[in-house]
Amino acid sequence: MLNVKNLTFSYNKNPVLKNISFRVEKGENLAIIGESGSGKSTLLKVIYGEYDLDNGHIIWNDKAVLGPKFNLVVGYDFMKYVTQEFDLMPPLSVEENIGKFLSNFYPEEKKKRTAELIEVVELTAFAKTKVKTLSGGQKQRVALARALAKEPEIILLDEPFSHIDNFKKQSLRRSVFKYLKEKNIACIVATHDKEDVLGLADRMIVLDNHKILVNDNPQTLYKNPKTPLVASFFGEYSIINNKLVYAHQIKIVTNSNLKAIVIKSYYKGHYYLIEAQLNEIKIFFEHSIELKEDTPVFIKISK
């Protein structure tokens, strides 16, 4: 179990994180979101022991996680950290990069374990391929597999699927988080992608103004976004009568006291996102067909 207590950290006396406290249980998946510069990546680095704290404590199973003032080598055996910059060995193959961290005393077990991890990150067809010839997304998947090689107790993932195209991202995301659950590996993932959170994360922390704005399960935060920052993470929204409303909650009706004028229709596949003017504000809602510019519509808000 990870216990972060009153963590405060500054870069050159400029505060980045203030009084951060939360817990992560074994096998739990915690997502951290926030705007660029909110401190997501810094928080992971501090937890990993890359920096010294100004104040507070980080504890894993009663063991203090300390920074470079106390450790000649950054990091701990029980924790792995996967950054957006891949620390790989380009001349070696995919399987060599992963197997490098497994014992040679049990060659059959090493071979089986390497193959299992390559399958988890969906690179079986590239097992013998030199890493230097891979794409950025493929390298990111090798870095993920290598971090999992020794089955850490907790893994820190910084935008783990950012370099991976949409053709692979969905299935890979499910495969990786399913593996972490099966192995009871705790996970903290810093992300800007709601698909890393919905249906996968157990809890979600929102960072804002150097502090934790909210800490709750994704279902609660999605259904009851307290601020525009939270709502914007999950999708298009509008503020109508001081209430945050998602685009799918606004419906066209034959008559109501809310009359809007269509500005533009955006094709989104199985629906159109309609931009419209409601009094002095712009709103966005979903509709099954395209609506022409300047079309007047009556709307209502559904739950």
13 and 139 housed in the same domain? yes
300 pLDDT more than 70: yes
Q: Please report how many Cα atoms fall inside a 13 Å half-sphere around the Cα of residue 216, on the Cβ side.
A: 12
Asked whether residue 295 is assigned to any structural domain, the reply reads yes
245 and 172 housed in the same domain? no
244 and 200 housed in the same domain? no
88 and 210 housed in the same domain? yes
Pairing mode, strands 272-278 and 259-267: antiparallel
C-alpha distances (whole Å) from 150 to each of 16, 80, 81, 84, 117 are: 32, 9, 13, 20, 11
pLDDT value of residue 151: 87
Query: Of 167, 189, 218, at which residue does a domain stop?
Result: 218
Asked whether residue 143 is assigned to any structural domain, the reply reads yes
Question: Domain holding 128: CATH number?
Answer: 3.40.50.300
The rounded distance, in Å, linking the Cα atoms of 5 and 59 is 8
> How many folded domains does the chain comprise?
2
Q: Average pLDDT, stretch 167-182?
A: 91
**Residue 97 DSSP SS3:** helix
Identify whether the C-beta of residue 119 lies closer than 8 Å to the C-beta of residue 171: no
The rounded distance, in Å, linking the Cα atoms of 290 and 295 is 11
Asked whether residue 277 is assigned to any structural domain, the reply reads yes
Asked whether residue 139 is assigned to any structural domain, the reply reads yes
Question: Domain holding 297: CATH number?
Answer: 2.40.50.140
85 pLDDT more than 70: no
Asked whether residue 33 is assigned to any structural domain, the reply reads yes
**What would the pLDDT profile of 258-269 be if each residue is shown by its tens digit?**
999 999 999 999
Sorting pLDDT into bands at 50, 70 and 90, what band is 73?
confident
Closest of 139, 13, 14 to residue 88, by C-alpha: 139
C-alpha distances (whole Å) from 7 to each of 25, 55, 73, 212, 303 are: 18, 6, 22, 11, 38
C-alpha distances (whole Å) from 83 to each of 80, 92, 143 are: 10, 20, 9
**Residue 161 DSSP SS3:** coil
**What would the pLDDT profile of 134-149 be if each residue is shown by its tens digit?**
998 899 899 999 999 8
- How many helical (H) and strand (E) elements, i.e. helices and strands, does the chain have? 7, 17
The rounded distance, in Å, linking the Cα atoms of 246 and 284 is 8
The rounded distance, in Å, linking the Cα atoms of 291 and 261 is 10
7 and 153 housed in the same domain? yes
pLDDT value of residue 74: 85
Where residue 6 falls (left for φ over 0; alpha for ψ -120 to 50; beta otherwise) is left
Q: Average pLDDT, stretch 57-85?
A: 89
83 and 174 housed in the same domain? yes
115 and 145 housed in the same domain? yes
The rounded distance, in Å, linking the Cα atoms of 60 and 128 is 37
Q: Which residues contact residue 217 at a Cβ distance below 8 angstroms, ignoring those fewer than 6 apart?
A: 202, 203, 204
Mean pLDDT of the chain: 93
Sorting pLDDT into bands at 50, 70 and 90, what band is 23?
very high
33 and 182 housed in the same domain? yes
Pairing mode, strands 259-267 and 186-190: unpaired
269 and 170 housed in the same domain? no
**What would the pLDDT profile of 204-247 be if each residue is shown by its tens digit?**
999 998 999 999 999 999 999 989 999 999 999 999 999 999 99
The rounded distance, in Å, linking the Cα atoms of 68 and 74 is 6
88 pLDDT more than 90: no
8 and 51 housed in the same domain? yes
Sorting pLDDT into bands at 50, 70 and 90, what band is 167?
confident
Asked whether residue 227 is assigned to any structural domain, the reply reads no
14 pLDDT more than 70: yes
Asked whether residue 230 is assigned to any structural domain, the reply reads no
Query: Of 153, 184, 218, at which residue does a domain stop?
Result: 218
Domain that holds residue 139: 2-218
pTM of the model: 0.90
68 and 201 housed in the same domain? yes
175 and 241 housed in the same domain? no
Amino acid, res. 89: M
Q: Average pLDDT, stretch 77-90?
A: 85
The rounded distance, in Å, linking the Cα atoms of 161 and 116 is 19
Query: Of 218, 246, 265, at which residue does a domain stop?
Result: 218
The rounded distance, in Å, linking the Cα atoms of 142 and 42 is 23
Asked whether residue 228 is assigned to any structural domain, the reply reads no
